[in-house]
């Protein structure tokens, strides 16, 4: 006989966590609710319901983005890893999802619809910088390609954002080096101050590191887990899903 295991998911608990994070974030910052990996296993349908007050939903998989749209999500959706191949282009255009570019090949796939005027102004383009996480993102050697891509987007009238991911935000001073690299990149690329940034994960958001024009990206905290394994006092009480 199988063990009688039951999983109870409470949308109001996730919504509560979103409220706590929102309250801890400056009012002029915007918030992506991260729902990657099928909303950390909780289901995209639950995320769409629970995170209705977020400014946008961030996912990895294009199918997750399409599911969110089918469920009635009308706010921005961020594809955290962008295009996986040319076949994704038409699907992204159909749902008007924001795109992250972390490799020149992705931009080459996107250039044709961009130059043909097929890309909606509702789509923001995010350029991801590798500042030390060493997982995804343009490296310093890619600066000429990156600058050209940003100029192409601006000249076509599309919004550009800049993104990175912190590796050790839960540690005191753990973001210092990456934040400096990120700022140095923006200066070297002559990025206008009004262009959006997105750097803060759950830990960095709780630590108050969100900068002007920032879109914070809490993930783990939304589902009831503190990012601070040994310091539970650094975040407000979170509700378990």
Taking only the tens place, the pLDDT of each residue in 148-169 is 999 999 999 999 999 999 999 9
Q: Concatenate the DSSP letters of all residues of 86-115 into one string.
A: TTHHHHHHHHT-EEEE-SHHHHHHHHHHHH
208-222 pLDDT tens trace: 999 889 999 999 999
Q: Could you tell me which residues come within 8 angstroms of residue 58 by beta carbon, excluding any fewer than 6 positions away?
A: 32, 33, 34, 35, 36, 77, 78, 80, 217, 219
46-76 pLDDT tens trace: 999 999 999 999 999 999 999 999 999 999 9
pTM here? 0.92
Q: Does residue 77 sit in helix, strand or coil? A: strand
Round the average pLDDT of the chain to a whole number and report it: 93
Structural domains in the chain plus CATH codes? 11-227 (3.20.20.10)
C-alpha distances (whole Å) from 88 to each of 91, 113, 186 are 5, 12, 29
């Amino acid at each position: 006989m199988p063990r009688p295991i039951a999983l109870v998911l409470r949308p109001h608990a996730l919504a509560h966590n979103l409220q706590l994070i929102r309250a801890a974030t400056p009012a002029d910052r915007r918030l992506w609710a991260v729902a990657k990996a099928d909303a950390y296993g909780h289901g995209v349908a639950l995320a769409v319901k629970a995170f209705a007050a977020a400014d946008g939903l961030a996912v990895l998989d294009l199918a997750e983005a399409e599911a969110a749209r089918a469920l009635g999500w009308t706010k921005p959706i961020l594809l955290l890893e962008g295009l996986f191949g040319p076949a994704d282009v038409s699907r992204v255009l159909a749902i008007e999802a924001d795109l992250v570019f972390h490799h020149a090949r992705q931009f080459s796939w996107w250039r044709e619809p961009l130059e043909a005027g097929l890309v909606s102004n509702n789509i923001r383009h995010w350029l991801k910088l590798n500042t030390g996480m060493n997982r995804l993102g343009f490296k310093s050697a890619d600066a000429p390609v990156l600058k050209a891509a940003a100029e192409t987007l601006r000249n076509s009238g599309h919004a550009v954002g800049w993104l990175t991911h912190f590796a050790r935000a839960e540690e005191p001073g753990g973001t210092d080096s990456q934040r400096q690299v990120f700022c140095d990149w923006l200066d070297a690329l002559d990025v206008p101050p009004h262009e959006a940034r997105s750097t803060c994960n759950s830990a960095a958001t709780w630590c108050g590191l969100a900068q002007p024009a920032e879109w914070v990206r809490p993930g783990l905290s939304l589902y009831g887990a503190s990012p601070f394994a040994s310091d539970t006092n650094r975040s407000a009480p979170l509700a378990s899903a």
